[in-house]
Every structure is written in structure tokens, then in C-alpha cells.
């Protein structure tokens, strides 16, 4: 990383400021004026170039995310948490304090997988603009991805106190309750998100997580129902094929389980969850049990 240009720019500012304090004659005043104008134009140009570079970095982050998705390991991870909050860029009233800068930084760090850095940035944003909902939502998201479930739960509950109809926050609470095995509360929040039905992604993931809740509780028919609804709402959520196959398998319907995994593989054979379906199908045909979790 290169050294920051800020110290030299600040030193130039101090030199001009010192000259302003000591200027006497008209010619000297005119010279200082030209110097100030030139300095302002230099800074303004740098700001423009840095803003353009910042946008390019955002594009780079998106390219990186796409590349990571396409080259992910075939051994699929645990079911992904709910989709990130995708509302409009925050317009923070206390923007002169720089809160929105920290929110945007937090959002970018989440995209890069630096959850610790994102949490620190978003906490700074909330120090500058207490109660800013977008910052709280992103903070809860970062905490959840970092598996700080108790902190994330407390953060999302603040969001829901102000916005009870915030379905994305609600399904994230449901997901956290699922991870903590607080199944009753998970069902309550996820079912409410489905009743609200005000965000397509939230409704999709609410069905998926309810399927996982019932699968963990060994209520296999209920799990199958919710996974089927998930695939009807989002056919590309291939992990639902994998989980539906497990729900059939543990319910004793081995043939239907294998057909389901085969369908998941064929739907997205080159994606991680498609490969996971293929591998699980191969294990089942060899007489091996799929994992319980």
C-alpha cells in the first residue's frame, strides 16, 4: 500500500494558512488568492479522481463476488444466511459527521468477507448517527455472518422495534433462532414474514428456513411441504433440493430422495449445491447415509 497523500496536502494547507495570516500588501494578497484557488482546484480534482476510483472498486468487489461464486468449493457450506439488505443508499441526516461514509465502508467490507472490519465501521457510524436503521440492519447482518448470534439478535430486535414490517430483519432473527435451536421463536418470526409477504427474497428464505426448522425437529412431512414451496418460489435455490432430499430420506422415502438430489444436480450441475446433490446421490446409491446436519 502507498503512503497517504494527506500529510503533504495538509502541510500545503498550513503553509497557505500561515501566509494568509501574515499577508500585507495588495500584490502579496493577490498572489495568495491565486495560490488558494490553485490549491482548491487540486483538491477538487483529487476528490473527483478518488470518487471515480471508489466506484471502480465497487465494480471490482462485484467481479470478485461473481468469481468466488463460480469457483466455490464443491463441498457446499451450511445454508447461506438470508440475502443482504438491498435498500437505497442511506441518507443520514448527520452526514456532516461522516456517518454515511462508515455505512458504505461497512457494506463494502461485508461484501469482501471482512466481517470484523464491517462491524467496527458500522459501530462507528452508529456512534455518529445513533439509531440509523440502515446501519443497524447492516451491523446485524455482519454480526450474524461472523456468528456473533447474541449480538446480532439484539441488533435486529432494535430494527424490528422501529420497523415491525421489516421482513429481511425478521427472517434473520428467525435464522439466528434456528442456529440457536430456539425453534418456537424461529417459527414465529418466519411465519410472520410469510404473512407479511412484502419482500420476495424474505418470503423465499422464510419458507426455506421453516423447512430447516422442521427438518431439525424430525417433522419430515412439514419440512417437505416448506421445501416444495421454496422451490416453487425460487427454483434456483438449489440447497432446497439438497435439504428436500434429506427430508425424504429420513422419512424413509429413499427413492424420492434420490430423484430429488438428481433433480438438484441437473438444475445446477456446475454450482456448489448442484455438486453437493450429485455427491450425496452417489453416496446414497452406495448405501451410505446422508449427513444428519
Mean pLDDT of the chain: 87
Q: Is the pLDDT of residue 221 over 90?
A: yes
pLDDT per residue as tens digits for the range 143-169: 999 999 999 999 999 999 999 999 999
> Is residue 144 located within the same domain as residue 177?
no
> Is residue 137 located within the same domain as residue 177?
no
Instruction: Indicate whether 125 belongs to any domain.
Output: yes
> Is residue 140 located within the same domain as residue 182?
no
Task: Show the domain range for 112.
Answer: 95-151
Q: Please give the torsion angle defined by the CA atoms of residues 247, 248, 254 and 258, in that order, rounded to the nearest 10 degrees.
A: -90
Instruction: Indicate whether 61 belongs to any domain.
Output: no
> Is residue 168 located within the same domain as residue 220?
yes
Q: Please tell me the predicted confidence (pLDDT) of residue 94.
A: 47
> Poorest-confidence range of 51-55, 198-202, 254-258?
51-55
Domain count for the chain: 3
Instruction: Indicate whether 25 belongs to any domain.
Output: no
Percent of the chain with pLDDT over 70: 89
> Is residue 183 located within the same domain as residue 206?
yes
Nearest CA-CA partner of 122 in 108, 110, 111, 138: 138
Instruction: Indicate whether 134 belongs to any domain.
Output: yes
Q: Please tell me the predicted confidence (pLDDT) of residue 68.
A: 57
Nearest CA-CA partner of 227 in 217, 237, 198, 10: 237
Kindly indicate the confidence band of residue 73, based on its pLDDT and cuts at 50, 70 and 90.
very low
pTM of the model: 0.76
> Is residue 247 located within the same domain as residue 281?
yes
pLDDT per residue as tens digits for the range 224-275: 999 999 999 999 999 999 999 999 999 999 999 999 999 999 998 778 899 9
**Which run of H or E residues covers position 79?**
none
Q: Is the pLDDT of residue 6 over 50?
A: yes
More confident site: 81 or 34: 34
Which CB contacts under 8 angstroms, 24+ apart, belong to 169-173?
Answer: 169/137, 169/140, 170/196, 170/202, 171/82, 171/202, 171/205, 171/206, 171/209, 172/81, 172/82, 172/140, 172/141, 172/144
Q: How far apart are CA 192 and CA 189, in angstroms?
A: 5
- At a CB cut-off of 8 Å and minimum separation 6, what does 176 contact? 144, 149, 152, 153, 156
- Taking residues 78-103, what's their average pLDDT? 65
> Is residue 147 located within the same domain as residue 169?
no
Q: Is the pLDDT of residue 70 over 80?
A: no
Instruction: Name the domain boundary from 176, 200, 230.
Output: 230
> Is residue 173 located within the same domain as residue 209?
yes
More confident site: 103 or 82: 103
Q: Please tell me the predicted confidence (pLDDT) of residue 74.
A: 45
- Is residue 243 within 8 Å of residue 79, measured between CB atoms? yes
> Is residue 181 located within the same domain as residue 219?
yes
- Is residue 216 within 8 Å of residue 175, measured between CB atoms? no
Q: Please give the torsion angle defined by the CA atoms of residues 251, 256, 258 and 264, in that order, rounded to the nearest 10 degrees.
A: -110
Question: What's the CATH code of the domain at 215?
Answer: 1.25.40.10
Instruction: Indicate whether 176 belongs to any domain.
Output: yes
Q: Is the pLDDT of residue 128 over 70?
A: yes
Instruction: Indicate whether 15 belongs to any domain.
Output: no
Question: What's the CATH code of the domain at 100?
Answer: 1.25.40
Instruction: Name the domain boundary from 180, 210, 230.
Output: 230
> Is residue 201 located within the same domain as residue 258?
no
How is the chain split among helix, strand and coil, in percent rounded to 5?
A: 75, 0, 25
Instruction: Name the domain boundary from 196, 214, 230.
Output: 230
- Taking residues 273-279, what's their average pLDDT? 93
Nearest CA-CA partner of 84 in 122, 53, 56, 130: 122
Amino acid at each position: 500500500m502507498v503512503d497517504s497523500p494527506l500529510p503533504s496536502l495538509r502541510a500545503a494547507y498550513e503553509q497557505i494558512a500561515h501566509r494568509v495570516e501574515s499577508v500585507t500588501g495588495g500584490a502579496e494578497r493577490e498572489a495568495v488568492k491565486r495560490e488558494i484557488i490553485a490549491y482548491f482546484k487540486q483538491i477538487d480534482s483529487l476528490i473527483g479522481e478518488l470518487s471515480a476510483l471508489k466506484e471502480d472498486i465497487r465494480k471490482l468487489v462485484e467481479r470478485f463476488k461473481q468469481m468466488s461464486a463460480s469457483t466455490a468449493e464443491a463441498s457446499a457450506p451450511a445454508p447461506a444466511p438470508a440475502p443482504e439488505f438491498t435498500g437505497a443508499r442511506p441518507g443520514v441526516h448527520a452526514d456532516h459527521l461522516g456517518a454515511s461514509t462508515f455505512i458504505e465502508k461497512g457494506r463494502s467490507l461485508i461484501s469482501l468477507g471482512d466481517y470484523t472490519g464491517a462491524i467496527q465501521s458500522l459501530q462507528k457510524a452508529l456512534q455518529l448517527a445513533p439509531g440509523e436503521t440502515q446501519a443497524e440492519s447492516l451491523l446485524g447482518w455482519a454480526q450474524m455472518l461472523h456468528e456473533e448470534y447474541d449480538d446480532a439478535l439484539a441488533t435486529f430486535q432494535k430494527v424490528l422495534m422501529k420497523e415491525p414490517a421489516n421482513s429481511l430483519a425478521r427472517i434473520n432473527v428467525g435464522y439466528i433462532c434456528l442456529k440457536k435451536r430456539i425453534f418456537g421463536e424461529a417459527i414465529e418470526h418466519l411465519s410472520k414474514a410469510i404473512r407479511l409477504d412484502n419482500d420476495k427474497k424474505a418470503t423465499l428464505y422464510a419458507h426455506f428456513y421453516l423447512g430447516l426448522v422442521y427438518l431439525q425437529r424430525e417433522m419430515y412431512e412439514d419440512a417437505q411441504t416448506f421445501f416444495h414451496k421454496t422451490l416453487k418460489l425460487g427454483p434456483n435455490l438449489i440447497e432446497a433440493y439438497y435439504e428436500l432430499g434429506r427430508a425424504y430420506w429420513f422419512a424413509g422415502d429413499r427413492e424420492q430422495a434420490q430423484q430429488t438430489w438428481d433433480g438438484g444436480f441437473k438444475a445446477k450441475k456446475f454450482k456448489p449445491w448442484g455438486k453437493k446433490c450429485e455427491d450425496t446421490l452417489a453416496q446414497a446409491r452406495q448405501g451410505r447415509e446422508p449427513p444428519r446436519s
